[in-house]
Amino acid sequence: MILPLTIASVVVADQALKVLVRNVGTLQPAEGQLWVHRIRPSRAPTLWLWTVAAGLLLSASLWLSGAQVFVGLLLGGSLSNTAEASVRGSVTDFVRLGFWPAFNLADVALTVGAAGMAIELVRAIGDGRL
C-alpha cells in the first residue's frame, strides 16, 4: 500500500506546486524539456520508456522489500515530469539556488529515490539477499 500512496503523493504535490508557481507570478519558473524529447520530440517514446522503466522498478521492489518508498519516489517523480512534458510539452522547474540548475519537487523525489535504491542494493548485497 505504501508504493501507490508514495507515487500519488509525489505526483499530486509536484503538480500542485507547479500550477501554483505558474499562476502566482512572483516566481520565475524555468521551462525545460525532458532529455528524451530533445532526442525525439514525439511523446510516444517518452511514455514507452517510462512504462519499461516502471516495470523494471516494480520488479526490483519485489526483491528489495525495504525499497518500496524509494521505488515510489522514483516512479512518482518520473511520472509527474513525464505527464507534464506529454501534456504541456515542457517541464516547470521552480527551485533556483543560483549555483545549481533549476529543479522541482519531482527532481528531488528522483534524487532521493535513486540514492535510497542504491543504499538498499548495497545492503541487500551485504546481507546476501542478492
Among residues 50, 72, 82, 107, the one annotated as catalytic is: 107
How far is residue 12's CA from residue 16's CA, in Å, rounded to a whole number? 6
Torsion of CA 2, 36, 100, 69, to 10 degrees: 10
User: Counting every residue, how long is the chain?
Assistant: 130
Q: Which of 38, 18, 28, 23 is nearest to 84 (CA)?
A: 18
14 is catalytic: no
Among residues 83, 93, 109, 120, the one annotated as catalytic is: 93
93 is known as an active-site residue: yes
The Cα-based distances of 66 to 4, 77, 127 in angstroms read: 15, 19, 13
Nearest to 36 by CA among 52, 21, 22: 52
Active site residues: 93, 107
